Structure 1
C-alpha cells in the first residue's frame, strides 16, 4: 500500500510539473464550458492488467506459485456530476475483459487459465487541481462493485479452467491523471489501481468434474488486483 501511494504521489507531482512547464499565459483556453456544466457525459477506452494476490493453504505439497497475466481491455461510459470547482462525482459503468494464468507446482497440470468479463459499477470522487493552460492534473478515488459474468458454475478441464471464481467482488480504487482540453472535447489519461476486498476463489467442489480438488485446496485465499490505463473522452 505504501508503494502504491508513493507511485500515485509521484504521478501527481509529475502531472503538475508537466502542466506548469507547458503553461503559456497568452495561450487560448480550449473547451472551457465542460467544467461549468453540472452534468456531462462521455465514454472510456482502456487497457488493463488483471492480477491475483495468492495465499497458499499449506495443506498439501501443491502450491500456486505465480500469476501470469495478459493485457486486457475495457470500455465504459462517463457520467460526471459537478459538485464544486475542484470536485466532481463520477459514475463510470463499463465492461472489463481480461485473462490470468496461475502456475502451480507439484500438480499434474501446471498452468490454470482464468478468464474474466467484469461488469464494472464504480462510484468515484475526483479532485482537480487548478487548470494551467489546457492541462489539469487530478486525483480520483472511490469504490466499485464488479460482477464477473464469465464465472463458471462448472470446471472446464479441456480449457485448463480448473478453479472457479465467485461472481461478485467489491474493490477500492485509487488513481491519478491529466485532463487535456482540446478544441471540441476533453481527453483525460488516467492510471488507476483497484484492489479486491473479498476472497475471490470459489472453495466449493465441482461434483460433475471430480479429481481437480487439489487446485482449489492449494489456495487458502485469493484477492483480485487490476491496473488500468484509461482514456476518457468527455
Structure 2
C-alpha cells in the first residue's frame, strides 16, 4: 500500500508540472462556471476495498491474517467550498459498504467474516493544478470520522462472526484525481487511501457467548485501511 501511495503522488506531481508547462488555449472550454462558484454541490459513486492491518499478540498458538479481499461500494454527497483559485474545502458525507475476512490458524473456525456499513464524514482540502484544456489534476488530503452502524454488540457463532469491531474510528486520508470538464457538468475520477488511526478491534469478552475469546486474544491491535476509487459528479 505504501508503494502504491508513493507512485500515486509521483504521477500526480508529474501531471501537475506537465500541465503547467504544456498549457495551450483551446477554442472551447467546457463548463467554466463551476470553478467560479464559491459553493457547489454534487454526488459521488465509488468502489472500495477494505483491509485490516493485523498485529498478532503472540498469546497462545493462534495466528490471524487477512488474505481475502471483497469489493464494496460507496455513495455520497459532494459539497465544495472555494477558498482560492487552486484550493477548496470539501465535505463529502456518505455511506461505505464492505466486507473483510480474517483467516486464523490453530483455531476451530479458520475464517471469520466481518461486514461493515460505515457512515463516512470526511473533511478534505483539495489542491488543483492549472487547468489544461478540459481536465485538471488535483491532490486531496484530510481526515474522516467514520461510524460503523453494522458493528455488533454480541458475537454470532452460528454465522462465524467471532470478532467485533468498535463503532467509531478516525482516518487520515490522502488521494489524487483528475477533474474532467464536460459540456454540462464536471466529472472527477479519484483514488484515495484511508488509514484508521485507532485500534478498531473490540477486545471486550462477550459473556453471552463464552469460549470464543481466542479469536480476539490472538490480535494485539488491528487498524482499518480502505482504498476507494470514486467518481464525483459536480
Aligned to 1:184: 184
Partner of 1:96: 96
State the distance in 2 between where 1:113 and 1:154 align: 14
RMSD between superposed Cα atoms in Å: 1.8
Q: 1:19 to 1:130 in 2, by over 3 A?
A: closer
8 A Cα contact 1:191 1:229, kept in partner: yes
Q: Secondary structure at the match of 1:165?
A: coil
Which runs of 5 or more structure 2 residues have no equivalent in the other structure?
A: none
Encode CA deviations 1:97-139: one digit per residue, 9 max, x unaligned: 0000000000010000000000000000000000000000000
Q: Which deviates more from structure 2 when the two are superposed, residues 132-141 or residues 26-35?
A: 26-35
Q: 1:18 to 1:51 in 2, by over 3 A?
A: farther
Alignment correspondent of 2:69: 69
Change (3 A) 1:190 1:21: farther
In structure 1, the gaps of 5 or more residues are none
In structure 2, how many angstroms separate the alpha carbons of the residues matched to 1:54 and 1:11?
A: 29
CA contact (8 A) 1:19 1:135 kept: no
SS of the equivalent of 1:177 reads strand
**Cα distance in 1, alignment partners of residues 149 and 18 from structure 2:** 40
Shift of 1:166: 0.2
Equivalence for 2:142: 142
Corresponding position of 2:37: 37
Question: 1:28 matched to which residue of 2?
Answer: 28
- 3-state SS in 2 of match to 1:8: helix
Please give the TM-score of this superposition, normalised by the length of structure 1. 0.95
Residue 10 of structure 2 is aligned to residue 6 of structure 1: no
Aligned to 2:194: 194
Q: CA deviation at 1:68?
A: 1.4
Provide, for residues 147-204 of structure 1, a one-character-per-residue CA deviation record: whole Å limited to 9, x for no partner.
0000000111122110000000000000000000000000000000000000000000
Q: Which shifted more, 219-228 or 4-13?
A: 4-13
Q: Bigger CA drift: 142-151 or 3-12?
A: 3-12
Asked if the contact 1:116–1:151 (Cα under 8 Å) also holds between the matched residues in 2, the reply is yes
